[in-house]
Structure 1
Amino acid sequence: MAALVLSLSPMLVTDALAQRRQQMPSRGEQPQEAPPQKQEKNFPLDASWTAIQMNGKPINGFRATLKVDSNLRGTGFGGCNTFSASAYPLRQQAFAVGPIAVTKSTCDKSASDFERSYLMALRSARQWDLIEGRLVLKTGAGEIRFDRGI
């Protein structure tokens, strides 16, 4: 058994040296550091959110909300009607919203126009993030920022 250990020792030393040479930078080359790992965030399920800004503009005079429950059902108010849709927070903070079902209340033109814009932006959401306690949905044309609702 001692002979076996002695015959493997030079091979183990050679492998260790080869691995070390691969990790060492050549002359004049800076050592590369691995990029820091981004911590995966958890989407805040069952939290209520109120939209405060859409595409960089404050939302004034209208109310729009969103809640994604543990069954991945997104519900809320769009400014005139309530809505529901499948809403999927995915890995790497991706986000997908399925077709949206909306009630059919009659509203004035400005509320209907706002609601249409809000729901189209919500439907095009692709990423989410939590920034300073606010939910941010990144859409095809910009973003929607939300404060925690009651």
Structure 2
Amino acid sequence: MLVSDALAQRRQQMPSRSEQPGGEAPPPRQQEKNFPFDASWTIRQMNGKPVTGYRATLKVDSNLRGTGFGGCNTFSASAYPLRQQAFAVGPIAVTKMACDKGASDFERSYLMALRTARQWDLVEGRLVLKTGSGEIRFDRGI
């Protein structure tokens, strides 16, 4: 018997890692998603509550610039989709339009949530940003 034949026969007799006691097969690698640059998004939910009466948007371009409308003012900031679907937003610059109290309060909440975004995901064609206090869900805009 040749050495290679003996090795082949021994390999056939050995149980695979998943068949060994206490041995688990490694989990399948999840394919990394690509962030949807240059797509426009409109807010639908913030922290589990539907957003009605206010419109807020977000767009992140391929130069890592996030822009949008917060409910009263336009804004811009550096926005970094990172590896493993991490997300970071730099300081936000906002125009200074006069708004009613409700719009100002909504905008402040939206921009604070956006600033604390830590993860992103695409779920059923919607953008989801996980923030320090919950999540923001967006539908694709026009």
Which structure has more helix as a fraction of its residues? 1
Computing the radius of gyration from Cα coordinates, the structure with the larger value is 1
The runs of at least 4 consecutive aligned structure 1 residues that moved more than 4 Å come to 23-27
Q: Within 5 A, what are the aligned runs for 1:26-105?
A: 29-105=21-97
Separation in 2 of the partners of 1:26 and 1:71? 49
Once the two structures are superposed, what CA deviation does each residue of 1:22-63 show, in whole Å capped at 9, x if it has no partner?
x65797x14311101111000000000000000000001000
TM-score w.r.t. structure 1 length?
A: 0.84
Which SS does the other structure have where 1:40 is aligned? coil
What is the SS of the residue equivalent to 2:107? helix
Runs of 5+ consecutive residues of structure 1 not aligned to the other structure: 1-8
Identity %: 76
Counterpart residue identity of residue 134, structure 1: R
1:6 aligned residue: none
Q: Which amino acid aligns with 1:108?
A: D
TM-score in terms of structure 2 length: 0.88
Q: Say what the alpha-carbon RMSD is for the aligned residues.
A: 2.6
**Aligned length in residues:** 142
TM-superposed CA distance for 1:74, in Å, is 0.1
1:135 deviation in Å? 0.1
Aligned partner letter, 1:140: G
Alignment of 1:131-146 (within 5 A): 131-146=123-138
Secondary structure at the aligned position of 1:50 is classed as strand
Q: Which SS does the other structure have where 2:84 is aligned?
A: helix
